[in-house]
Structure 1
Amino acid sequence: MMKQECIMVYNLRDFDERPYFEEYTGEYGLSMVTTAETPTPENATLAQGCRYVNIITTPADRPLLEALYQQGTRYIVTRTIGYDHIDLDAAKELGIRVANTPYGPDGVAEYTILLMLMCLRNMTSIRHRYLGQDFTLKGLIGRELSQMTVGVIGTGRIGTRLISMLTGFGCRTLAYAPHPNAEAKKHAEYVSLETLYRESDLITLHAPANAETTHMINEDALAQMKNGVILVNTGRGALIDTAALLHGLDTGKVGGAGLDVIEEESDLYYYDRREELLHHRDMALLNSYPNVVVTHHMAFYTRQCVETMVRDSVRGIVADIQGLKNPWRVC
């Protein structure tokens, strides 16, 4: 029988995650300490005696990792695909293993198409006008996805699934990735990044955030794109230089944007900030444009994805305890 271990779960949501955590920790004989709080050096004491810590997208920088290490933490798993919010260098130096939890690609791929269609059909303006009881048509004429050339940057699981889904719309699809894959090649033409920028009417981002991709959509990249290009981002906020995007929207270079992620979102998203003064000028500006759709990092949020994230975060811990190969470990 496996020795019982304790998992410290931060940012636990009672309304959707707790039942799955109770199910899977019970199945594997694990105990659990939970809090709705975000992990900080100050509340790292909650993890005392827990070798395993479970977090979401909140930053795990060196001070936090050091504080958790002092409490006995030797493994951190994030209930997300991305793990750029964790200081991997600090984790390696401390001897803390890090894992993530990829979920099925359908939810994000479907949501990406939703944002594409909302941008092409001017849904922000339509909703504003309708709620104001203005039922006129002038200025609301849309475009059809079937007539677009869509550029997909990043052809991992999500980008490849999106490419497959786009076949049903009849659009021309271009793709760029450092490592092309055979599945995506069935339905998309791999091209250089410069060609994708030049020929795409709509560009959607599905790359990880790292040193090479941060601000890949900047002033220089926008200058290479068509006038009126539509940008969609369900990847990571850091992929787009927000200042360059705002300038592109002001000049008309960017004809619209669908953003499920933005820069500096971690202190805002998933918290109730009603009645608070939000110190995020860029978000306020983005929300003021009639041709921009901003949502709060929701593309992943389906029942299937939530269960998968909880289940696999627990399964990775079990693999670590048992000394088995852990497919979710990243360092």
Structure 2
Amino acid sequence: MKIAFFSVRDDEYDFVSQYAKKYQIEISICREALTLENVHLCKDATAISIMTTKTDRKIIEKLKEYNIQYISTRTIGFDHIDLKACQEYGIHVGNVSYSLSSVAEYTVMMILMSLRNIKLILERFSSQDFSLNHIRGRELKDLTVGIIGTGKIGQEVIRLLSHFSCHIIAYDLYPNETLKNQIEYVDLDTLYQRSDIISLHAPNADETYHMINQESIAKMKDDVIIINTARGALINTSDLIDALENKKIGYAALDVVENESHLYYKDLKNEVLDNRNLAILRSFPNVFLTPHTAFFTHQAVSNMVEYSITSSLAMHENKENPWLII
């Protein structure tokens, strides 16, 4: 069996080679994202492994021409793939899982950094401003944290936060029965109204698109903190900027933003970025931004590569595939 890998970063390269040898498969490696110009590199492959590349109908048509049977995305999210087109052309799709601690620990870090105004402290320290003006923080134990989405990562965030003695409430379309003795499930409006901190762990779907917007923000406490390590599309960025400017939102820590895919993971210094909202957010002292790196640990990257291979093998051998989407 052969798998064609695309968007292979330097930190993934050794893992791809290591696991190809372990599972005795043939591979091809392309550093670039999958496009119509390089789709021919799929020739003779059974499956492809991609990252967050937009994989639309035109690309899928070409994949069908090359007899690709399976698309594995080395991510949990799969909204970048046209699933409808894949179904029409008979191409299966799967995602991967990876260490829950990677995103969960990063989320807790962002919460703590937001509460203590770390961005401002570090910027001042670098210019030898050691004053205490505007950097007084808050303590997590005194606050209510609202978790939107109690899937695997949301559950791990809850487990970590439980050690800080804060009050935790949560919303999910499908509440987890095992969590009901540990946290309080509430409806979404109640979560907005009661939370001092709101942390997003929902997938990007029609029902979650721009769930943080002018209307929902109006229901929130003044000085609320918004944390997003899930998907940028969960937040209406323009409404977020308005709420930061009028001081309704006290702090935002964002590992993901809208329209990031053509920017993040590239060295773009000295270039003008075509994402005006990102530029505005970067200018705020109470917005902490990172370039979609919450997942980025040694263990998580290893998991993503290995599970992409084992998922493709399971599909090829007609075995049970825990990562199969369609």
Fold-level similarity (TM above 0.5): yes
Give the CA deviation at 1:28: 1.8
* Letter of the structure 1 residue corresponding to residue 6 of structure 2: Y
Does 2:17 align with 1:7? no
> After superposition, where does 1:186-205 map in structure 2 within 5 Å?
186-205=181-200
Q: Identify which range, 50-59 or 230-239, moves more after superposition.
A: 50-59
* Letter of the structure 2 residue corresponding to residue 152 of structure 1: I
Q: Tell me what 2:145 maps to.
A: 150
Q: Tell me what 2:259 maps to.
A: 264
Q: Tell me what 1:50 maps to.
A: 45
Does 2:224 align with 1:229? yes
Give the CA deviation at 1:272: 1.4
Of 300, 304, 307, 2:302 maps to: 307
Q: Identify which range, 115-124 or 184-193, moves more after superposition.
A: 184-193
Give the CA deviation at 1:187: 2.3
> Residues 178-205 of structure 1, C-alpha deviation per residue, up to 9 Å, x if partnerless?
1111332232100010100000000000
Does 2:270 align with 1:281? no
Q: TM-score, normalised by structure 2?
A: 0.98
Q: TM-score, normalised by structure 1?
A: 0.97
Q: Tell me what 2:15 maps to.
A: 20
Q: CA contact under 8 A between 1:152 and 1:203: conserved in structure 2?
A: yes
Does 2:66 align with 1:66? no
* Letter of the structure 1 residue corresponding to residue 284 of structure 2: Y
Q: Tell me what 1:112 maps to.
A: 107
CA distance in 2, matches of 1:82, 1:183: 24
Q: Which runs of 5+ in 2 are unaligned?
A: none
Does 2:6 align with 1:32? no
Q: CA contact under 8 A between 1:41 and 1:68: conserved in structure 2?
A: no
Does 2:289 align with 1:328? no
CA distance in 2, matches of 1:143, 1:76: 46
User: What secondary structure, in the 3-state scheme, does the structure 2 residue paired with 1:278 have?
Assistant: coil
User: What secondary structure, in the 3-state scheme, does the structure 2 residue paired with 1:299 have?
Assistant: coil
User: What secondary structure, in the 3-state scheme, does the structure 1 residue paired with 2:240 have?
Assistant: helix
CA distance in 2, matches of 1:21, 1:56: 13
Paired residues in the alignment total 326
CA distance in 2, matches of 1:315, 1:6: 12
Q: Tell me what 2:162 maps to.
A: 167
Q: Tell me what 1:92 maps to.
A: 87
User: What secondary structure, in the 3-state scheme, does the structure 2 residue paired with 1:221 have?
Assistant: helix
Q: CA contact under 8 A between 1:8 and 1:47: conserved in structure 2?
A: yes
Q: CA contact under 8 A between 1:152 and 1:205: conserved in structure 2?
A: yes
Superposition RMSD in Å: 1.0
Does 2:214 align with 1:219? yes
Does 2:171 align with 1:176? yes
Identity score, percent: 45
Give the CA deviation at 1:227: 0.9
CA distance in 2, matches of 1:251, 1:222: 12
Q: CA contact under 8 A between 1:154 and 1:175: conserved in structure 2?
A: yes
Give the CA deviation at 1:277: 1.7
CA distance in 1, matches of 2:179, 2:58: 41
| Deviation beyond 4 Å, 4+ runs, structure 1 | none
Q: Identify which range, 270-279 or 128-137, moves more after superposition.
A: 270-279
CA distance in 2, matches of 1:291, 1:279: 22
Give the CA deviation at 1:138: 1.0
Q: CA contact under 8 A between 1:17 and 1:306: conserved in structure 2?
A: yes
* Letter of the structure 2 residue corresponding to residue 260 of structure 1: D
CA distance in 1, matches of 2:182, 2:130: 39
* Letter of the structure 1 residue corresponding to residue 219 of structure 2: Q
Of 224, 241, 247, 1:246 maps to: 241
> Residues 103-126 of structure 1, C-alpha deviation per residue, up to 9 Å, x if partnerless?
121111100011111111111111
User: What secondary structure, in the 3-state scheme, does the structure 2 residue paired with 1:17 have?
Assistant: helix
Q: CA contact under 8 A between 1:234 and 1:260: conserved in structure 2?
A: yes
Q: Identify which range, 47-56 or 258-267, moves more after superposition.
A: 47-56
Give the CA deviation at 1:59: 1.1
Q: CA contact under 8 A between 1:228 and 1:254: conserved in structure 2?
A: yes
* Letter of the structure 1 residue corresponding to residue 73 of structure 2: T
User: What secondary structure, in the 3-state scheme, does the structure 1 residue paired with 2:75 have?
Assistant: coil
